[in-house]
Amino acid sequence: MSRIGKNPILIPKGVKAEIKGNVLEVSGPLGTLVRSFSPRMSLSVEEGKLLVKRPGDTKYLRPSTVF
């Protein structure tokens, strides 16, 4: 994964991020975004940051084939 891809995503004030299984729902003053991820990906929200991790570096886990 690139160095940029390893960084946590900061969640701005007024924006709410919820994880339901492998679905991420982000809602804020401009609307709502729903995105589903591969069940192999690990998503977590900690201290105002969204963390996305993958279990390995095989070609099947890279972004071009995960979605």
At residue 63, the pLDDT reads: 62
As a three-state string, the secondary structure of 9-64 is: EECCCCCEEEEECCEEEEEECCEEEEEECCCCCEEEEECCEEEEECCCCCCCCCHH
User: Which position has the token pair 């709410």?
Assistant: 16
Task: Judge whether 37 and 44 are in contact, CB under 8 Å.
Answer: no
**For 8-62, how does the pLDDT look when each residue is reduced to its tens digit (9 = 90+)?**
999 999 999 999 998 999 999 999 999 998 888 889 999 999 998 888 777 766 6
Angle at the Cα of 26 from the Cα atoms of 21 and 30, rounded to 5 degrees: 160
Sequence spans of domains, the chain:
3-57
pTM: 0.74
CATH 3.30.360.10 fits 3-57, yes or no: no
